[in-house]
Structures are given as structure tokens and as C-alpha cells.
Amino acid sequence: MQATEPIRERVEEVRGRIAEAAVEGGRRPEDVRFLVASKYYEPEQIGALADAGIGLLGENKTDDLVRKQEMFPDAFEWHFIGHLQRRKAKEAVGRVKLIHSVDSVRLVQELAKRAPEGGIEVLVQVNVSGEEAKYGVPEGEVEPLLEAAAGTGGAVRVRGFSTLAPLVADPEDVRYVFAKLRAIRDRLGAGWAPDFDLSELSMGMSNDYAVAVKEGATIVRIGRALIEEARVR
Ligand SMILES: *Cc1c(COP(=O)(O)O)cnc(C)c1O
């Protein structure tokens, strides 16, 4: 048990900071889900996350998803958070509850083809900052994706948006990224109801999750904060 204590402590610490940020942002802590990025963990360490009360994992690579999820099919809700290549789409659908990284009409179409009965839920990944290296579509290409998804007859159901903020020393410097994604959600959410419930905002990682929660994140994706010495405030 000893080995899992540091993980448990860090999980508690992050959980506390999420709750604190939610309250500061005028939100309810229970409206923010705590997803752990499982790419940092080997299968044998993943059990410790369940012991620490984590119920939601996000994997970046389909090979790792398959390998890890087969070992823990029921202990967690699994999401796919990495860049999804079309030829790998079939490995993600059916294994995950939510794909955070839909970024092309062709991927929407591929997912529709592969979707299980009842469809697959996805987030549209938006490149808010315009950084070249970041995945996601520019704001102007979001609506064509929603239209493509609407055309799948329920096979691909968009639940909201995700983004990756640039890595900066002071997370306040990327607050605008989160505020912008929320504004996109608010603007499109009204127009697309009731076809899609676009309420989800997957934003905020180890270095900036507190700011993201204050700006409305409904899912934060945490990796390094549980491993390195916590250095976020
Ligand atoms: C790794 C990863 C995270 C977690 O990042 P940390 O900075 O380690 O918290 C979140 N989202 C995605 C898409 C990732 O690949």
C-alpha cells in the first residue's frame, strides 16, 4: 500500500484545488470532472489510481488504450484524448465513452461508419490560440464539423469542445484561451440545441487547470501534477 500513498495524496490535493477554483469561479465543484491522463502510467500503476478514487482515465494512443483498457475494463470510464488518426478510429469507438479530439469532417465520417449502436459521443477540438503545433480546428471550421456530425443521424453526437492551451509560465496568460472556448460553446450551444447538448468543455491540464475551472471547464485533464512535485497554484 505504501507505494500508492503519494498518488493518493496528490489526487486529494488536485481535487481540493479543483473544488477551490470552482467556488472562486462561482461554480459547483461537482460540475467539474477530474480526468487523469493515463499515458504516464503503466498498467501495473493504474490500479493505484482507482484506489485513490479516480474513475475517469483518458488515453492518447489507441494501442495503449487497447492494452490498458483490457486490463481495467470496469474500474474506469475511459476517454480518448490524443490526436485520433482515421485509420485508428475503429479501435477507439466502442472502447471509450467520449472522444475529446475530433478535428476533421473526414474523421466525423469515419467515426460514423464505425460507431456502435447508440452512437459515439465526441468533443470538437478547437485551436483557440492559433499556435501552429497544436491540434484542433480554427473557430471558423467548427460549424462545418457540427453540420457533418448532425448529418450522421445520431451516430456521432457532439457534446461540446476541447482545447490545449499553450504552455506558459503564468497560467493567467492563457485565461483568454479558456474564456474563448467558453464563448464559442455559449454561442453555438444556443443555436444547436436541441440537436446537440454542447455543454462540455474539456480544458485545463496540470499547469493551468485552476484557471480553466474558473473559466468553466467541465473536464480537466491532469497528468504531471500527480507525478512531479505539485507546482501549480
Ligand atoms: C498528456 C495530456 C494531458 C495532461 O497533461 P499534463 O500537462 O501532464 O497535465 C492532457 N491532455 C492531453 C491531450 C494530453 O496529451
Structure-block grid coordinates of residue 81: 484524448
Instruction: Give me the domains of the chain, ranges plus CATH numbers.
Output: 4-232 (3.20.20.10)
Cell 496528490 locates to: 10
The pLDDT value given to residue 44: 84
The pLDDT value given to residue 132: 74
Average pLDDT over residues 7-17: 95
Q: Which residue has a Cα nearest atom 11 of ligand 1?
A: 221
The pLDDT value given to residue 130: 84
User: In ligand 1, which atom is closest to the CA atom of 100?
Assistant: 13
| Span from the CA of 153 to the centroid of ligand 1 (angstroms) | 32
| Span from the CA of 60 to the centroid of ligand 1 (angstroms) | 9
DSSP 198: -
The pLDDT value given to residue 195: 86
Structure-block grid coordinates of residue 124: 470538437
| Span from the CA of 147 to the centroid of ligand 1 (angstroms) | 28
Q: Is the pLDDT of residue 4 over 60?
A: no
Q: Phi, psi at residue 16, to the nearest 5°?
A: -65, -40
Average pLDDT over residues 122-145: 91
The pLDDT value given to residue 139: 95
The pLDDT value given to residue 131: 80
The pLDDT value given to residue 1: 41
| Span from the CA of 222 to the centroid of ligand 1 (angstroms) | 6
Q: Is the pLDDT of residue 232 over 80?
A: no
User: In ligand 1, which atom is closest to the CA atom of 81?
Assistant: 13
Structure-block grid coordinates of residue 96: 471509450
Helices (H) and strands (E) counted in the chain, each on its own, are: 8, 8
pLDDT band, residue 208 (cuts 50/70/90):
very high
Beta strands 56-59 and 33-37 are: parallel
Q: Is the CB of 99 under 6 A from ligand 1?
A: no
Q: Is the CB of 232 under 6 A from ligand 1?
A: no
| Span from the CA of 77 to the centroid of ligand 1 (angstroms) | 17
Q: Mean pLDDT of all residues in the chain? A: 93
pTM of the model: 0.95
Structure-block grid coordinates of residue 105: 469532417
Cell 470510464 locates to: 77
Cα separations in angstroms, 171 against 135, 204, 210? 20, 10, 9
Q: Is the CB of 220 under 6 A from ligand 1?
A: no
pLDDT digits (tens, 9 = 90+) for 25-66: 999 999 999 999 999 998 888 999 999 999 999 999 999 999
